[in-house]
Amino acid sequence: MIEVLYFAWVRERIGAPRERIETEAATVMGLIEDLRARDERYAWAFADMTSLRVAVDQELAGFDAPLAGVREIAFFPPMTGG
């Protein structure tokens, strides 16, 4: 089981801040493909990959990052701190 978190408009499109997901996917991209296939909320949230960022166990990562041993994944738009 992986804890999956959503922030900002990704959270709004999916309609939840977090959920626990059982996945067979090997990479972040594989997880995204699983989620997109679930329903249109996910397809909408993950429509434009250029405007998405991912953190794996609270570190920024690429979409090709492996999921083995990972506890927490977060999806969000580019950050706007400062």
Binds other proteins (CB under 8 A): choice among 9, 38, 39, 66 = 9
Give the position of tokens 């249109």. 40
Binds other proteins (CB under 8 A): choice among 2, 21, 29, 55 = 55
Dist CA 15 CA 9 (whole Å): 9
CB of 41 to other proteins, least distance (A): 17
- Classify strands 53-56 and 72-76 as parallel, antiparallel or unpaired: antiparallel
Binding status of residue 70 toward other proteins by CB under 8 A: no
Considering beta carbons, is residue 24 or 81 the nearer one to other proteins?
A: 81
Dist CA 65 CA 73 (whole Å): 10
State the residues that interact with other proteins by CB under 8 A: 5, 7-9, 11, 55, 58-60, 74, 76-82
